[in-house]
Amino acid sequence: MATDHIGTERIQNAEVVLHGLREALAQAGITLPSLQLHHSTWSASDDGGAALLSLGAVDLATARKLTEVVGRRRSTEQS
């Protein structure tokens, strides 16, 4: 069925994004142990839904590192 293909494609796309996010975080020295794709969770959107990623809970050291990396990125974009 066509909708099965669309659903499979969305999950595959989400898995690509998940892998890319995990790699980018690793390059910044950040690990999110609970980072995962929710195969059964879809958000409402114009195209019929999108896969959701869960970033999970993080400790304070990880939150500080995320803040530092995002803040550094924002500073370079504003320059």
Specify whether the backbone of 59 is left (phi greater than 0), alpha (psi in -120 to 50) or beta.
beta
- 2: pLDDT strictly greater than 80: no
Domain coordinates in residue numbering, the chain: 2-78
The pTM of the full predicted model, rounded to 2 decimals, is: 0.73
Q: For residue 38, give every residue at least 6 positions away whose Cβ sits within 8 Å of its Cβ, in sequence order, or none.
A: 51, 52, 53, 54
The confidence score (pLDDT) of residue 41 equals: 63
**pLDDT one-digit tens code per residue, 4-53:** 555 677 778 888 999 999 999 999 999 999 999 886 665 544 455 677 88
**pLDDT one-digit tens code per residue, 46-78:** 455 677 889 999 999 999 999 999 888 777 777
pLDDT band of 1, cuts 50, 70, 90: very low
Please give the structure tokens belonging to residue 45: 């959107």
